[in-house]
Amino acid sequence: MRDLSEKIAAIAPSATIEISNAAKRMAQEGVDVISLSIGEPDFDTPAHIKDACIDALRRGETHYAPSAGIPALASAIAEKIAGENGFAVQPDEVIVTCGAKDAIYEAMEAVLNPTDEVLILDPAWVSYEPCAQLAGAVARHHPLSPETFQVDDTLLEAVSSRTKMVVVNSPSNPSGAVLDAASLRLIADICRDHDLYVLSDEIYEKLVYGKEHISLASLPEMAERTITINGFSKAYAMTGWRIGYAVAPRPIIRQMEKVQQHTISHPTTFAMFGALAALRGGQDCVEAMRREFERRRDYLIPALKGLGYTTAPADGAFYAYVRVDGDDMAIARSWLRDAHLAVTPGTAFGTPGWLRVSYATSMENLEEAVGRIARV
Ligand code: PMP
Ligand code: GLU
């Protein structure tokens, strides 16, 4: 066999997906495994969203769509951004993608050149660095304070003459932290002063508990340098639909659209009609799911603290980030082997010594999981 791509060989597999695959395999083999490894709402997609997709299928919305997505959805997204996120965009500053992940990949391809550096704030979700690598760029990591998970002015020291983009993810996967206004102002000041782009991944914006989500692009002069990433997976329990989007200045969207045209063409046409119904319909379903995640968080965090663990703030998303003594990879392996409990080691997110425990699962599973952690 001839040699394969060195670029791809250098990229790590997705730890979140690999561990959840391993848990699924164990479950298929009849093991009573509890998976707290993947960040995926356990709720069904709300019925009115499914109905809109089925109607679209029946109407014959089964053909190619415009490559940036169906115009009605781009308009609905532009209205949502203006109404909820505090900055103005036109529909042609929106691209609908195959999940937020695809939007992140396309944004990096659209903006970065080889040797450009992307600054990632650790702990960070597993796919930012590989997307930067796929674009030929270089990822640099800057640790957030492990006490507060906020940004301080040491971020400035991490900026080099090669830095072109900063990746910001609030609410954060994996820490559950929500960046406060002071952190966002600091990031904005640095990006303006050093002419940097920001990729602001706001996919967990709806899942905040007693905190306010602020969009980076709403800060003065930030919309012109921010690519806002969002999607339907987390807020509407639509992970399998693969619909996400990016909002950015027109030249960036045009570049992303070229990537899209030559790779996926556009996301699935009838799935986009479901996403349209999600935005146009009532939002009570989102709030009901948020409240249920909050209830689980309010159980899990004190339960883990009761077992002696230190946890990150858990103000958003659906992850408890738990400090452990010793090798997080070995501990995660032993929890899986001895307690049939799948969690993701912090090493995968650039912070060894932590475990990510997803509470996007039933209360019964969480109670059973806490019992198993106590025993293991
Ligand atoms: N960003 C973050 C921080 C995530 O946790 C996820 C979850 N997979 C994504 C992006 C991608 O979401 P999607 O399912 O829309 O691709
Ligand atoms: N974002 C989720 C997680 O972190 C889903 C898996 C993935 O796409 O990484 O578990």
Rounded distance from Cα 363 to ligand 1 centre (Å)? 23
Q: Which ligand is nearest to the CA of 107?
A: 1
Report, as an integer, the average pLDDT of 79-91: 98
Give the mean pLDDT of the chain: 97
- In the prediction, which pLDDT does 38 show? 87
User: What pLDDT does residue 313 have?
Assistant: 92
Give me ligand 2 centre to Cα 37, in Å. Answer: 9
Q: What is the pLDDT of residue 19?
A: 87
Phi-psi region of 259 (alpha: psi -120 to 50; beta: other; left: phi over 0): alpha
Q: Residue 258 above 90 pLDDT?
A: yes
User: Is the pLDDT reported for residue 220 higher than 90?
Assistant: yes
Query: What residues contact residue 126 under an 8 Å CB cut-off, 6+ apart?
Result: 12, 14, 15, 16, 348, 349
Separation of CA 58 and ligand 2 centre (Å): 32
Once rounded to an integer, what is the mean pLDDT over residues 230-250? 98
pTM over 0.95: yes
Give the residue, 119 or 376, on which the prediction is more confident.
119
Q: At 306, is the secondary structure helix, strand, or coil? A: helix
Tokens of 50: 């499914």
The predicted pLDDT at position 22 comes to 87
pLDDT surpasses 90 at 68: yes
The CA distance from 259 to 16, in Å, is: 26
Atom of ligand 2 nearest to the CA of 344: 10
Residue of minimum CA distance from atom 3 in ligand 1: 173
* Banded pLDDT at 20 (limits 50, 70, 90): confident
Ligand 1-lining residues (CB < 6 angstroms): 39, 99-101, 125, 169, 173, 201, 203, 231, 233, 239, 244
Quick one: which ligand is closest to 17's CA?
A: 2
What percentage of the chain has pLDDT greater than the value 90?
A: 95
Tens of pLDDT, residue by residue over 147-179, are: 899 999 999 999 999 999 999 999 999 999 999
pLDDT tier at 102, thresholds 50, 70, 90: very high
Segment 192-196 mean pLDDT: 98
* Mutation pick for ligand 2 pocket among 37, 97, 126 (CB with most ligand atoms within 8 Å): 126
Q: Residue 16: is its pLDDT beyond 90?
A: no
Tokens standing for 130? 């590989």
Domains and CATH numbers, the chain: 6-44+284-375 (3.90.1150.10), 61-280 (3.40.640.10)
Does 171 sit behind a cis peptide bond, omega within 30 degrees of 0 on the bond before it?
yes
Model pLDDT, residue 316: 98
Write the DSSP assignment of 63-105 as a string of letters: S---TT--HHHHHHHHHHIIIIIS----GGGEEEESHHHHHHH
